[in-house]
Amino acid sequence: MATAVQNQPTLTVPGPRPLPLVGRTLNSIRFAKDSVGYTRGLFQTYGNLVALAAGGGTRLYSPRDTCPATVFACGPKLVRQVTTQHEVYFKHPLTGPLYRLRDTSKRTKPLNHFLVGLFGVNADQHLQQRRLMLPAFHRQRLETYAQDMVAITEDQLKQLQLNQANEMAAWLRQLTLRIATKSLFGEDVGNQGESTGQIIQDALSQQGNLLMKVFPLDLPGLPWNRYLNLVARYEASMSHLIKAKQQSDEDASDVLSMLMQVQDEDSGAYLSEEELLGHVGVLFVAGHETSANALTWTLFLLSQHPQIMADLLDELDAVLHGEPPTIEQLSQLPLLENVIKESMRILPPVPWNGRVTAKPTELGGYELPTGTEVLVSIYQTHQMPDLYPDPASFNPRRWETIHPDAYEYNPFSAGPRLCIGAGFAMMEIKIVLAMLLQRYRLQFVPQKPIDRSGVIVLTPRHGLSLVVHRQDRQFHQGVGDVQGNVHEMVKLT
């Protein structure tokens, strides 16, 4: 929510003037309710750099003691400035403002590393930690993860109900949760029971509870108490898992086991248990929900574009012949890759890239004081017609002739903080789509409107209902009758 800040430099970035008393809070609420729609109007009115409120005095996610302003930016020039100036634009833990409460009691101590990981370190420390983690995402490791992805997807496909509507957004979240917990922690809990990944997911959901932020009281029955209970369970579960792996002689292939073995070449240091806890938690959040949403939006777009779906299935059949793809075969599916790239362009699973200025700086011709929140709009950048002609059209074929750089197209961010798991995510999305679409035709049913939702991730507010048929190529069925504000983002029949 908005927070007035005293004795800060005056922000000159243009933006809407706040109304008396409620103005800044109202702006923050409007952003939280529909970040894409609200800021699209701001960009159209004020240009590629705009403040949430003229003069500043707002806070959305920064854990710093002072936050003079929140500004939004879009376009490759500003994307480049923010993502390449590693010493100026800092990331912060995914716990956001809750990170400020990490030392208020014994129960809050785990917040020093919970969902911190690479998001909570900057400058040279970030580069060192990232270097230690890179081997876990080398090609040899990806081949092992691919085998797990195929096995889990095969099992999950059996859960779909034929010839009836399935809630595919929920099904995909369960699938990617299983893949994430298996790849990261070495455990696959199937469709039953509690997993380490599910604890993290529940805690992240609890972070959106407004009452927890307004009344951070650790009393039974209150949201803050429930949140700290979840964090404590994650700590206990992960500590037990780490100790078990330390005592095991098995050469496990999961990311956690890999990270426990890496050693810095210069200092000889290993990652501490606190660093391990932070890194795997962040990797889970970054790799689970985002992949599920990328898959959900792609299935929706394919359901409304029958010719593209037919061409894609032709490619899959010609290369895979009904079988799951191998690592080598994934590179032989150019249309599949272009479908995914176009889906993440037009409906990016992560619409924002957030930073906080670590020192006074200049952006887009305006001075930004230390502590300014800068949210770069991945979505708005992907919608610029000078970069992508007819940007609201879902057209995977455009990628046969265009070659945008990392600042024009950045669903996985850009610069030194390019998503470390980008290769993992693309492989996962390709494998799931290839296996699912060869076996089943997914027909849209207009049970609920397709409305966008979310700030950290972009997701269909009411899920996505699709009728699951054996693959019969009747792709024209279910086209049209789509309701909801998704029409503001993509052209549909």
- What residues contact 377, with CB distance under 8 A and at least 6 apart? 39, 43, 72, 73, 74, 351, 352
Each residue's pLDDT tens digit, 467-485 = 999 999 999 999 999 999 9
**Average pLDDT over the chain, rounded to whole?**
91
* pLDDT tens figures, 360-416: 999 999 999 999 999 999 999 999 999 999 999 999 999 999 999 999 999 999 999
Per-residue confidence at 429, pLDDT binned at 50, 70, 90? Answer: very high
The tokens describing 120, both together, are 């909570």
Most confident of 4-8, 58-62, 442-446: 442-446
Say which residue the tokens 């005056």 belong to.
Answer: 10
So where are the chain's domains? Answer: 117-488
Strand partners, 376: 73, 353
What are the pLDDT digits (tens) for 93-148? 989 889 999 999 999 999 999 999 999 899 888 988 888 888 888 888 888 899 99
Average confidence (pLDDT) over 215-238: 91
pLDDT, one tens digit per residue, over 188-204 is: 655 544 577 778 878 88
Classify domain 117-488 by CATH number. Answer: 1.10.630.10
pLDDT of residue 320: 98
| 307, containing H or E segment | helix 306-320
Residue 459 has pLDDT above 80, yes or no: yes
140's CB contacts (< 8 A; 6+ apart) are none
Longest Cα–Cα distance in the chain: 67
Q: Which residues contact 487 (CB under 8 A, 6 or more apart)?
A: none
Residue 9's pLDDT band (cuts 50, 70, 90): low
Q: What's residue 188's pLDDT?
A: 66
241, 234 Cβ separation under 8 angstroms = no
- CA-closest candidate to residue 316, choices 296, 333, 299: 333
- Bridging pattern class, strands 49-51 and 452-453: unpaired
Q: Letter for the amino acid at 396?
A: P
Q: Looking at the predicted structure, is the pLDDT value of residue 249 above 80? A: no
> Best-predicted range by mean pLDDT among 97-111, 205-219, 247-261?
97-111
The pLDDT-based confidence of 3 (bands split at 50, 70, 90) is very low
State which amino acid sits at residue 221. G
DSSP annotation of 374: E
Q: Are 64 and 81 in contact (CB under 8 A)?
A: no
- Determine the pLDDT at residue 239: 85
Q: Is the pLDDT of residue 4 over 60?
A: no
What pLDDT, on a 0 to 100 scale, did the predictor assign at position 138? 86
Identify residue 194 by its one-letter amino acid code: E
By residue count, the chain amounts to 493
SS3 70: strand
* pLDDT for res 13: 97
Residue 298: Cβ within 10 Å count: 24
How many CB atoms within 10 Å of residue 342? Answer: 22
The pLDDT value recorded for residue 18 is 87
Could you give the angle at which helices 306-320 and 273-303 cross, rounded to 10 degrees?
120
- pTM for the model stands at 0.92
Task: Please tell me the distance from the alpha carbon of residue 445 to that of residue 178, in angstroms, as a whole number.
Answer: 27
Of the listed ranges 74-78, 320-324, 418-422, the one predicted with least confidence: 418-422
Query: What pLDDT sits at residue 190?
Result: 54
How confident is the model at residue 8, as a pLDDT? 52
Q: State the distance between the two ends of the chain, measured CA to CA, in whole angstroms.
A: 38
How far from 484 is each of 133, 346, 452, 461, 488, CA to CA, in Å?
Answer: 41, 16, 8, 10, 9
The three-state secondary structure class of 142 is helix
Of 437 and 33, the structure prediction assigns the larger pLDDT to 437
